[in-house]
Amino acid sequence: MYSWFIISILGMCFMVPLHFLSVEHLKFQKKYGTDKGNKITGILGLTSGWGFFIFWFGIWLSPQPRLVIPFLQNPSFTVPVINILIPLSHLIISIPFILIGAWFGIGSVRETSLKVAETHKAERIVSTKIYSLIRHPQYVGGIIAHIGISLLLSSLFSLIFTPLVILLNYLIAWKEEKELVKEFGEKYKKYKENVPMLIPKLKKRK
């Protein structure tokens, strides 16, 4: 009955090991040479990145029980393109999540470039603007947007599986950092010491 949702969840999980391979740049460069190694990891990066997003999209839109918050159900409207009934209150609550998530995601791409976001091949350590707050703004933005979209579409299973979504994003970030330490050494270690991974630090009052 919920086969599309299950396929989307499994597909998203399957993209994680592909992503792990896509960031092992030094390993592939050593085995196949710099140019060929980078091409292989670039293809793996594009496949895992877009695959992860497509299956994430499937998690939101797959047929599943609707999230019901009794005191927040009326009035509502239907989105003509996808024929989904959206309570107005869900729209109002979800918009801040989606906008904040988009801000994190767009901010991270602007600082690193779309190429880096797609291929997972960093050419330098970025520590400016949004990367001065957290080390993985794109994943934080994705998680925040996930919550907002799940609320917007009243996707109950999608919201319930949020801890798994957080775990998968954490694993990807953890693996990326292992490889970044190998590539950039002490510079990245110092960056890690100064900037939190996923949750910004509250500045202490002086």
Q: What is the CATH number of the domain that holds 74?
A: 1.20.120
Domain assignment present for 204:
no
Domain assignment present for 202:
no
Domain assignment present for 35:
yes
Rounded to a whole number, what is the distance in angstroms from the first to the last CA of the chain?
57
Contacts 24+ apart (CB under 8 A), 77-84: 84/153, 84/154
Which residues of the chain are under the pLDDT cut of 50?
Answer: 81, 204-206
Which pLDDT score, from 0 to 100, does residue 92 have? Answer: 86
Instruction: Domain of residue 124: give its range.
Output: 3-194
Phi then psi dihedrals of residue 75, to 5 deg? -75, 175
Domain assignment present for 124:
yes
Which pLDDT score, from 0 to 100, does residue 79 have? Answer: 56
Which pLDDT score, from 0 to 100, does residue 83 have? Answer: 62
Which pLDDT score, from 0 to 100, does residue 206 have? Answer: 43
76 Cβ partners below 8 Å, 6+ apart? 85, 86, 87, 88
120: left (phi over 0), alpha (psi -120 to 50) or beta: left
Which pLDDT score, from 0 to 100, does residue 74 have? Answer: 58
Which is it for the CA torsion 188, 164, 12, 143, positive or negative? negative
Q: Domain count of the chain?
A: 1
CA dist list (Å): 195 to 15, 37, 140, 145: 27, 30, 14, 22
Which pLDDT score, from 0 to 100, does residue 75 have? Answer: 60
The tens digit of pLDDT for each residue in 42-79 reads 999 999 999 999 999 999 999 999 887 766 655 655 55
